[in-house]
Amino acid sequence: MCGHRELPYLIASAWRCLDHHRDRRCEKCTATGFCPVVEAARTRIRAWRRYRSVFGRR
């Protein structure tokens, strides 16, 4: 894979969630556009980025 490490499964799943919600809605999306699933995915990605910045790329 070109020397890059693979993403952890939960992070890859979070990115897939964001990609899915870019075009479509799920049953949990509200009329205002808020989705708790998207917020959870964003939170997970932010936490992973913070972890990487503190402990380095693993």
Task: Render each residue's pLDDT in the chain as its tens digit; 58 residues.
Answer: 455 677 899 999 999 999 999 989 999 999 998 999 999 999 999 999 999 888 876 5
Handedness of CA 21, 23, 26, 29 (dihedral sign): positive
- Degrees, nearest 5: CA angle 52-2-21: 60
- Token pair in block for residue 16: 């897939």
What's the confidence (pLDDT) of residue 1? 45
Of 16, 7, 21, nearest to 58 by C-alpha is 7
- Token pair in block for residue 40: 């959870």
Spatial contact of 26 and 35, defined as CB atoms under 8 Å apart:
yes
